[in-house]
Amino acid sequence: MAVERQKPVTFSFEGLVFEEGFRVDLLVENQVIVELKSVEKLAPIHSKQLLTYLRLMNLPVGLLINFGAATLKEGLHRVVNNLPASASQQLRVNQRNTIPRGDAGDME
């Protein structure tokens, strides 16, 4: 697999061009962004950061990996950009109509 580390990304927004506007930790096969963290607990801003990168690069999926979590399973989060409306609501990030708390579990 082709993996690029600290890949600089140029993007334009409202007519302005941002040379090396941000850097993604890992870009796998030009399709998946992997954002790496090592914090005790992920904050909502971490998922939003990855979602912003996905939107600016027009990519469908990214992985947020926190090596500060007790286990890899606890530290691994999938973030999806433009998930179709027919997809499960439990897979959505930053949705306006939230799922009742009893049904959502520990979603971020």
Q: Along the 108 residues of the chain, how does pLDDT read in single tens digits? A: 899 999 998 888 889 999 888 899 999 999 999 999 999 999 999 999 999 999 988 999 999 999 999 999 999 999 999 876 665 555 555 554 444 433 333 444
- The pLDDT of residue 101 is 37
In-domain check, residue 88: yes
Can you give the residue range of the structural domain that contains 35? 29-101
Tokens of 43: 């904050």
In-domain check, residue 86: yes
- The pLDDT of residue 102 is 38
Segments of the chain assigned E as strands: 3-13, 16-28, 32-37, 61-66, 76-80
Count of structural domains within the chain: 1
In-domain check, residue 4: no
Tell me the helices (H) and strands (E) count for the chain, helix number first: 3, 5
pTM assigned to the model: 0.71
In-domain check, residue 9: no
Cβ burial 23-54 (10 Å sphere, 16+ → b, else e): ebbbbeeeebbbbebeeeebeeebbebbbebb
In-domain check, residue 94: yes
- The pLDDT of residue 46 is 95
